[in-house]
Amino acid sequence: MSIHKITSHISGHIVDCEVNVGDKIAEGDTVVMVESMKMEIPIESDRSGKVTELLVNVDDDVAEGQVVVVIS
Amino acid sequence: MSRNKELIELEQRKAFSLAMGGPDKVKRQHDKGKLTVRERIERFVDAGTFVEVGILAGQSEYNEDLTLKKVIPSNFIMGRAKVDGRPVVVVGDDFTVRGGSNEGAVGEKLIFAEQMAYDLCVPMVRLIDGTGGGGSVKNLEKKGYASLPQMKSWSYVARNLSRVPVVSLALGSVAGKGAARVAGSHYSVMVQETSQVFVAGPPIVAKLGQKVEKNELGGSTIHTRNGVVDDEAESEEHAFSRARKFLSYLPSSVQETAPTTDAPKHVPDQSWLVDAIPENSRKVYKIWPVLTTLFDEDSIFEIGKNWGKSIVSGVARIKGRAVAFAASNPYHYGGSWDRQTAEKFVRLVDVAELFRLPVVHLIDNPGFMVGLDAEKSAVMRAGVRALTAVSQTTVPWFSLIIRRAFGVGGGAHQNSNRFNFRYAWPSAQWGSLPFEGGLEVAYRAEIEAAKDPEAKHREIKARLESVVSPFRTAENFNVEDIIDPRETRERLVEFAELSAKLCQPREYMVGYRP
């Protein structure tokens, strides 16, 4: 079982977490919403899998490249 | 009879070349999941059109009686061929012979091929696998001296870039000069897993203390994300089809006009465009459905999918006429331009200007990217180069502001010192900066002096919202027209048709860029 890390491609503020640990997600599904550049930008999964870790909460700040969700 | 003897030797010599590095080396190439150079050429060009030049070049060994013993063929194969019925020059490295590295006639053949494309005014296509003309350590003893790198071939590479379409495919581990020839193109593509591009490979990099395998150092996940190579392909066949497709939009040289195709029989439903942009300006939307609605069906060829992702850009067709296009992608940095996006935009604009393709620009750009990372990446330098590139264009230009156009980045939407086709959708907003960001600073004294600062803030915001309507801008002819999104394709068709006579060949001149 390989793990895959989903990172935020932009720095900003988490406004929504759309997945929970245990959820099965497909490629292209939004995992979290980041507020940046006055917009709500979805961070999408680049592959399908099961969420094993949700590493951010609503109101957290994230940096570009920071891991937000781990899937297996 | 004596002539027959010579013909026999000719066939014998050709047979050595056609056998490449021999069955063992050919098998090894296949085992790595790679085609041989001759298979590549055969599959890339139209069947039966390859006319090889220099098949006899190589290093020969002779018997004591001076009859031919064997020939190690040159590992640089070249010739003329047709792609989709149009002539090209095609070259390829033969990795089965000395790993594609420089030997014998390679340097001369490389220059000859580039010169041939230049003088025949036909596209140059390079199938690169190896150092492609670069030197090797083994050459040192053989030659007895160290050559001063002069890159004699580069002047031929460089002048072709202003004359004919140049396409490079990285099809194996490509280092040094081979890597330079990949990057020195109008369009480049590399194959996932089986190709790598680097200045120098893992054994040399290991001496810097960096233990990385070849795909970690120069695989497609590195170089199609940083813009060294435009795109990645799933297989060599896929790379060939992308190269062929790219060429189909371009003229054979700057002396011709881009080929047209038949107008599509079916035009996609335009009605949904009314709802394409979310009412809530904080929400993102997918730009691809907008593009596939506006351009001819199946005509979009995206270039640089994985780098400079704040724009989706490439070439497409409007009623059969080729155009270059760039469209903001709000999913990436909210559509604001980072350094790579600015660089990708310049690369597109240069191809459009050189080969006389009209430009269609769809704008939802909040400006250059802000923040520490952006500043450290020198976004202003790249952004200003892009702004200058736009100002230097002479090709017909169509700007459509679909949502935001702010600041200097937003100002890059067209060359404002000449006529442009410019439209806005009713969803458009613009200004020096989004007023939400500047309100507190601009009205600080007024807000602080108020009895209820929050109420004052709301009051000022409401005032500003009323004046940023795009209709107020149109009243003042600061934007020429706001159109119903459903009319956009009609306007694009008019643009493409009026552009035809303006896209005739002309001298290519680009001024200084900061």
B interface with A, Cβ–Cβ below 8 Å:
281-284, 309, 330-336, 366, 369-371, 373, 434, 436-437
Q: Answer with the residue of higher pLDDT: B180 or A64.
A: B180
State yes or no: pLDDT of B135 exceeds 60: no
- Tokens 């909210």 belong to B334
Are the beta carbons of B186 and B165 closer than 8 angstroms? yes
Local structure of B46: helix, strand or coil:
coil
Q: How far apart are CA B77 and CA B428, in angstroms?
A: 54
State pLDDT tens for residues B248-297. Answer: 999 999 999 999 999 999 999 999 999 999 988 889 999 999 999 999 99
Nearest CA-CA distance, residue B284 and chain A, Å: 6
Lowest-confidence pick of B171-180, B210-219, B407-416, B482-491: B407-416
Q: In this complex, which of A11, A37, A44 lies closest to B336 when CB atoms are compared?
A: A37
pLDDT of residue B104: 54
The chain B residue lying nearest A64, using CA atoms, is: B373
Strands (E), B34-101: 51-52, 58-62, 68-73, 76-83, 86-93
Sequence-separated (6 or more) residues with CB below 8 Å from residue B279: none
**Structure tokens of B23?**
């069955």
Chain B within 8 Å of A28 (Cβ-Cβ)?
no
The chain A residue lying nearest B330, using CA atoms, is: A41
pLDDT of residue B506: 86
Are the beta carbons of A68 and A8 closer than 8 angstroms? yes
Could you tell me if the ipTM is greater than 0.85? no
Return the DSSP state at A19.
-
Q: In this complex, which of B282, B309, B371 lies closest to A38 when CB atoms are compared?
A: B282
pLDDT of residue A50: 95
pLDDT of residue B2: 64
Phi, psi torsion values for B481, nearest 5 degrees = -150, 140
Return the DSSP state at B72.
E
State yes or no: pLDDT of A5 exceeds 90: yes
Q: Answer with the residue of higher pLDDT: B412 or B157.
A: B157
Q: Best of A37, A43, A62 to disrupt the B interface by mutation (most B CBs within 10 Å)?
A: A37
State yes or no: pLDDT of A28 exceeds 70: yes
Q: Answer with the residue of higher pLDDT: B499 or B135.
A: B499
State yes or no: pLDDT of B30 exceeds 60: yes
Nearest CA-CA distance, residue A35 and chain B, Å: 9
Q: In this complex, which of A9, A11, A38 lies closest to B332 when CB atoms are compared?
A: A9
Quickly count: other Cβ atoms within 10 Å of residue B150's Cβ: 8
Q: Cβ–Cβ of A37/B284 closer than 8 Å?
A: no
- Tokens 């040399």 belong to B204
State pLDDT tens for residues B295-332. Answer: 999 999 999 999 999 999 999 999 999 999 999 999 99
Nearest CA-CA distance, residue A57 and chain B, Å: 20
Q: How far apart are CA B514 and CA B509, in angstroms?
A: 16
E strand or H helix at B489, and its extent? Answer: helix B488-499
Q: In this complex, which of B336, B373, B434 lies closest to A64 when CB atoms are compared?
A: B373
Nearest Cα neighbor of A52 from A8, A3, A18, A17 is A3
Lowest-confidence pick of A13-22, B102-111, B281-290, B365-374: B102-111
The mean pLDDT value of chain A amounts to: 92
The residues in A 36-65 lying below 8 A from B, measured between CB atoms, are 36-42, 44, 64
Mean pLDDT, to the nearest integer, of B355-371? 95
Mean pLDDT, to the nearest integer, of B474-502? 96
Are the beta carbons of B32 and B194 closer than 8 angstroms? yes
What is the amino acid identity at position B49? T
Encode burial over B445-473: b for 16+ CB neighbours within 10 A, e otherwise: eebeeeeeeeebbeebeeebeeeeebeeb
Q: pTM for this one?
A: 0.92
